[in-house]
Structure 1
């Protein structure tokens, strides 16, 4: 009979050697402690505070995500603009070099001797300052005629 009792006890109650046995809490206790409706009824101010904090944390996370995406996008645009600026500077430098090479070639191959005459300080002509009455006449003329006179009277320089 002892053998049968020993066999029955081992089959009904399994012993776990080296493991912790879990104690099951009654479901009513778990629902009573962690139920949000009951917490809201018992502690309405604390529940409202938790809801407000949850909303604030979600808002902060959304704000951080938006601001970081804006920062990354603006960094991308800045990098793109800077690369365009570098290529524009390179093209500008190349244009200036080619312009100076062409101007140097033209100045070397152009015959300026018939237009340029060696001169001395005694050969220079000094023109008197115009009188105020003449300048008033210039200001009374129309804009179109003044512009035409300025363009026609300006000197043309060769080279830089």
Structure 2
């Protein structure tokens, strides 16, 4: 993703965070993954490339430059990304967006109802082939986005898993 910065008189370029991206820039995640991070990558490969860190105070490994995004691995392979708020889909869906807007941008998405009597959110599963976006929502707004292999996203929804 290329972010344009227009300079004005006396203005300074935005500060950069990890990964060299300007602070506040919204990252785009597609059904292949993030820039430099693809579904199916191994923990070993991502660590060797300096993208995966396990030496931080977090509930699991983290991705360098994606502080609020949690990778979920199964059998050493990246299967899902639990996204942070500064991430959007190519169709512009972000956490906080009205669920009606997300439905309009993914009209073929399937509704998933959370089990009754549990403190879990409903879901909207936008599947394309073996990949999917899972939008967790409270009936009004998207609260969290998970992206990756569709079977693992659906399993996460039904079994109630989080990155921690």
Greater relative contact order (Cα < 8 A, sep 6+): 2
Structure richer in helix, relative to its length:
1
Structure richer in strand, relative to its length:
2
Where on the TM-score scale, by shorter chain, does this alignment land: which range?
under 0.3
Normalised by the length of structure 2, the TM-score is 0.16
Normalised by the length of structure 1, the TM-score is 0.17
Higher Rg: 1
